[in-house]
Amino acid sequence: MQFIPLNTLVRRLQGVLRSSIALLAAWLYFAVMPLAVIAEEFPKTSPSQLPGSLQELYARERPNLGQYGHCAAGFDSRTDGLKMALSCSIYVRSSAQGARLAVKLCNERADFQKIKARCSLIVD
């Protein structure tokens, strides 16, 4: 039986531990992160594609959005104001949170008003 000094054994274990952590980090990056990105894809629209009344509302809310705020809109009719929904999220901590919240609130409002079109994120 061959004697291995304790400091050599510790160095070998540290090397194995480092490579295990690196493999775990790589797995998390390549396996889990794409799922988060896929979940965050929302339909997008530009302000110019909105009906006139929603464009006016968006123009009025745009200065209040701040750095991370977003707005979402959905509409079935370009003229009937009862068939339009607009929701904006302000005072949020991140842009992704603002986008999620705006689309969620807009879809809730659209369901309440019985609007069939799903809300899309307004992107300048």
pLDDT 10s per residue in the chain (124 long)?
677 776 776 677 677 667 767 666 666 676 666 555 445 688 999 999 999 999 999 999 999 998 999 999 999 999 998 999 999 999 899 999 999 999 999 999 999 999 999 999 999 8
List strand residue ranges (DSSP E) for 1-124, in order. Answer: 44-45, 70-75, 84-89, 120-122
pLDDT at residue 2, rounded to an integer: 72
CA separation for the pair 61, 64 (Å, rounded): 5
Other CB atoms within 10 A of residue 108 CB: 13
Token readout for 92 is 């949020």
**Backbone CA torsion sign across 40, 42, 46, 47:** negative
Token readout for 31 is 């396996």
CA separation for the pair 97, 103 (Å, rounded): 10
Other CB atoms within 10 A of residue 92 CB: 19
pLDDT at residue 63, rounded to an integer: 93
pTM over 0.75: no
Residues in a beta bridge with 21: none
pLDDT at residue 115, rounded to an integer: 94
pLDDT at residue 105, rounded to an integer: 95
pLDDT at residue 15, rounded to an integer: 72
pLDDT at residue 103, rounded to an integer: 95
CA separation for the pair 28, 79 (Å, rounded): 48
CA angle 37/94/73 to nearest 5° reads 75
CA separation for the pair 40, 47 (Å, rounded): 20
